[in-house]
Structure 1
C-alpha cells in the first residue's frame, strides 16, 4: 500500500463528506419558515436550527404541563382572591367525647345492692369548620394548556418540514480544503 494512494482515496471520500456537510450548514443559514397556529403567525422567518431547538424544548414543556397538580375532582373548588388560591366551601364538623354514665337496673334494697350498668354517652366537645386550600389547577386548565402545546408542536414540525424543503445550492468546498491540505 502506498501512502499517496491512501491520501488520494481519503481525500476522495472526505470531499463528499465536506461537501454534504457544507451544503447542509449553508442551507440551514437560509432555510426559514413561519410558525402558524390556527391561521395566526406566531413566529415569522424562523431558522431551521431554532425550529429544532423549539421542538426539543416543547417535549420537555409537555412533560412539565402533564405533571402539574390538578384540583381534586371530589371537591367543589372556587377561586379565593384573598388567599390567591382555590378553596372549598366550609364544612362544619363536630367532635365528641365518650362520657361514662350509670344506668340503674334495680334499686338497692335492704338485702341487695343496686344493680348499675355503666355505659358511654357521646357528648359534643366542639364544632369545627374546615376549608381546604389548593394552589393546583383545574383539570380543564391543564387540558387547555396541553391542547395549545400540542397545536404549537404540530405547527413547529410543519414549519421545520417546510423550511427543509427550501431549494439549496450544492457547496463544493471539500476539494479546496483537502487540496490545500494534501496538495
Structure 2
C-alpha cells in the first residue's frame, strides 16, 4: 500500500505526461490528410489505351481510436489524483508545540492553508514597531500606552541689558554698550508616549510564529505519511464518456 507523500510525488509527473500525450493526440487529429484516404483505379476505353497503375492513400488516423488513446493517457492521472484527493479527506495530524496540542486531527488541506498564513504572519510580526531602545519605558495603565520618565528643560528669553563703559562728564556724554542676556523664564516638562512594542515582546511573538510554523510542517509531513487505498476512477469516467 502506498503512502500519501509517494502519491503526491508521482502526481506531477503523471500530469505532465498525460498533458503531453493528450497534446500529441490533439495535434494528430487536426491533420486532415492523416484522416483521409482514397482508392483510385484507371480503366482505358479500349484495349489499345494506356494502362495506369491504381492509386491509394491509407487512412492513418482514426478519430475513434484516438478516443481510446486519450482515455489511456488520462486514466492513470485520474486514478493518482483520485487516490490523493480521497486520502486528503482522511489524512490528519495534530499540531503540537512544546508538548502542547494546539490543533487536533487537522486535515492536510488545512495544514497547507496554515503554512501559507503563517508565512504571511511571520512577515507581519517582523514589521511590528519597536520601542526606542535609547529611552527607558514604563507602561502607563491609565493611558494604555508606554511612556518615558518626565524630562525637564528650561525655557529662556533674551532680555536687553545696558553696560556703562564710561560715566558722563561735563565734556562727554556717558558711553553705554547694549547687549542681550538669556534669562530662564520657565521650565518644560516632556513625557514621551508610544504605541510601539518592547523588543522582547516582538521577539517572543516571532519565536511563537516560528515554532508554530515548524509544528505545522511536521504535522503535514506526518499526515502525508499515512497509507492510502488506491482509487480507480479513470475506467469508470472514460467508460461512460467514450463508450
Q: What is the SS of the residue equivalent to 2:103?
A: strand
- Tell me what 2:165 maps to: 105
Q: Report Cα offsets for 1:75-114 as digits up to 9, x if no partner.
A: 1000111111111111111111111211111222233332
Match of residue 9, structure 1, among 56, 69, 72:
69
Match of residue 82, structure 1, among 129, 135, 142:
142
Is 2:213 the counterpart of 1:171?
Answer: no
- Tell me what 1:30 maps to: 90
Is 2:172 the counterpart of 1:148?
Answer: no
Q: What is the SS of the residue equivalent to 2:235?
A: helix
CA distance in 1, matches of 2:77, 2:175: 106
CA displacement at 1:125 relative to structure 2: 2.2
CA displacement at 1:7 relative to structure 2: 1.0
Shift >3 Å, 4+ stretches: none
- Tell me what 2:190 maps to: 130
Q: Which has the higher contact order (CA 8 A, sep 6+)?
A: 1
In the alignment, structure 2 segments of 5+ residues that lack a partner are: 1-60
CA displacement at 1:130 relative to structure 2: 0.9
Q: Normalising to structure 1: TM-score of the pair?
A: 0.96
CA displacement at 1:120 relative to structure 2: 1.3
**Deviation larger for 102-111 or 133-142:** 102-111
Is 2:123 the counterpart of 1:63?
Answer: yes
- Tell me what 2:7 maps to: none
Q: Report Cα offsets for 1:47-92 as digits up to 9, x if no partner.
A: 0001001111111111111111111111100011111111111111
CA RMSD of aligned residues (A): 1.1
In the alignment, structure 1 segments of 5+ residues that lack a partner are: none
Larger Rg: 2
Q: Report Cα offsets for 1:122-149 as digits up to 9, x if no partner.
A: 1122112111111111000000010011
- How many residues align structurally? 183
Q: Normalising to structure 2: TM-score of the pair?
A: 0.73
Q: What is the SS of the residue equivalent to 1:136?
A: coil
CA distance in 2, matches of 1:166, 1:42: 21
CA distance in 1, matches of 2:233, 2:91: 20
Greater strand content: 1
Q: What is the SS of the residue equivalent to 2:95?
A: strand
Q: Report Cα offsets for 1:4-54 as digits up to 9, x if no partner.
A: 122111111111121111111001001111111111111111100010011
Is 2:109 the counterpart of 1:52?
Answer: no
CA distance in 1, matches of 2:77, 2:176: 103
